[in-house]
């Protein structure tokens, strides 16, 4: 059996070890560490799990973290008040509001209150705009992780045909822009795309971020393609990707599994962005 699996867990582990080492050195030299503040509103169980994972990940690499667990009936104004306090808090380099927020709260209005310098999720319009315009910005974590996984395979992105399936603001669209910045020819497909199979078959690099179990059939994959599966859906308590894995694996040159592919990279990139924010704020070399 060919071993063509991109081991996101292992890659993430190595990156985190590097971050831990850097934070240790920074702590020794400057007597401080980067800090991440997470705001969690309500009682969505998946959100609670994610936030605990982020908290644990911070601790493990020596990063300061604080989680603000707020009740379901917290008002938008109260969240904004907290964000404004964290914007000024010297211990905090990154602020993230765990989505989804309870009904009645406007996620954009809330996210736009985060200082762009602390917007480590890269969801603020200023950061999205700078990403789009090719300027320096915080890059959303999942797309950043996806590009890192592709690069880990050693293939050259420039000049390749990349196809992104899904056009969310959080994954699909920023991934397309990042691939474009790497000089791929980029196509974006979505729910209104006709003949998805034909488009997917073109892809030297395929990124799927739809969240529909096995919407990408094995037979759609071009022989030798790099396949990144950023879709995750829970089916009978099991995490399932967008790609029909077993068949796709045979045709792909490289492929990410679900779980253990893109997932572990997302939090890792959050940690990296927070360290980056810290270094920028204290003017340390990048």
Interface positions with a copy of itself (CB under 8 A): 108, 124-135, 158-159, 167, 169, 173, 176-177, 180, 183, 185-190, 192-194, 199
137 annotated as belonging to a binding site for a ligand: no
CB of 1 to a copy of itself, least distance (A): 32
18 annotated as belonging to a binding site for a ligand: no
Q: Show the tokens assigned to 224.
A: 């030798």
Q: Return the HEC string of 197-241.
A: HHHHHCCCEEEECCCCCCCECHHHCCCCCEEEECCCEEECCEEEC
Active site residue 78: no
CB of 64 to a copy of itself, least distance (A): 29
Active site residue 76: no
CB of 126 to a copy of itself, least distance (A): 5
- Of 158, 151, 124, 168, nearest to 228 (Cα)? 151
Beta-bridged to residue 240, according to DSSP, are 233
User: How many angstroms from the chain centroid is the CA of residue 214?
Assistant: 21
**Cα-flanking dihedrals φ and ψ of residue 253, to 5°?**
-80, -35
CB of 198 to a copy of itself, least distance (A): 9
Residue with the two structure tokens 């704020």: 281
Residues 6+ apart with CB under 8 A from 124: 111, 112, 114, 116
168 annotated as belonging to a binding site for a ligand: yes
Residue with the two structure tokens 């204290």: 282
CB of 23 to a copy of itself, least distance (A): 30
Q: Per-residue DSSP letters for 158-191?
A: TT-EEEEE---TTTHHHHHHHHHHTT-EEEEE-T
**Cα-flanking dihedrals φ and ψ of residue 59, to 5°?**
-55, -45
Nearer to a copy of itself, 199 or 249 (CB): 199
Catalytic residue among 93, 121, 229, 242: 121
Nearer to a copy of itself, 68 or 199 (CB): 199
Beta-bridged to residue 189, according to DSSP, are 165
Bond prior to 105 in cis (omega within 30° of 0): no
192 annotated as belonging to a binding site for a ligand: no
Nearer to a copy of itself, 18 or 134 (CB): 134
Q: Show the tokens assigned to 249.
A: 């694996």
Active site residue 54: yes
Known binding-site positions:
166-168, 232
Enumerate the active-site residues. Answer: 54, 98, 121
């Amino acid at each position: 059996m060919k071993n063509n699996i991109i081991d996101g867990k292992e890659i993430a582990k190595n990156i985190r070890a590097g971050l831990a080492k850097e934070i240790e050195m920074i702590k020794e030299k400057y007597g401080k560490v980067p800090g991440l503040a997470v705001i969690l509103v309500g009682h969505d169980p998946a959100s609670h799990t994610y936030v605990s994972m982020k908290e644990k990940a911070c601790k493990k690499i020596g990063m300061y973290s604080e989680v603000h667990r707020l009740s379901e009936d917290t008002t938008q104004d109260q969240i904004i008040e907290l964000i404004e306090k964290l914007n000024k808090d010297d211990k905090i380099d990154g602020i993230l509001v765990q989505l989804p927020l309870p009904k009645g709260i406007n996620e954009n209005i809330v996210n736009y209150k985060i200082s762009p310098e602390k917007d480590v999720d890269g969801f603020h319009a200023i950061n999205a705009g700078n990403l789009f315009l090719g300027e320096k910005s915080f890059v959303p974590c999942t797309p950043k992780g996806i590009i890192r996984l592709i690069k880990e395979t050693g293939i050259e992105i420039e000049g390749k045909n990349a196809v992104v399936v899904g056009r969310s603001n959080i994954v699909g669209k920023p991934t397309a822009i990042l691939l474009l910045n790497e000089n791929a020819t980029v196509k974006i497909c979505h729910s209104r795309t006709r003949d998805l199979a034909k488009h997917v078959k073109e892809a030297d690099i395929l990124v799927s971020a739809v969240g529909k179990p096995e919407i990408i059939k094995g037979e759609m994959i071009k022989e030798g393609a790099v396949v990144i599966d950023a879709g995750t859906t829970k089916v009978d308590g099991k995490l399932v990707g967008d790609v029909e894995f077993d068949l796709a694996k045979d045709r792909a040159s490289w492929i990410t599994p679900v779980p253990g592919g893109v997932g572990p990279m997302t939090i890792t990139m959050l940690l990296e962005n927070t360290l980056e924010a810290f270094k920028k704020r204290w003017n340390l070399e990048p």
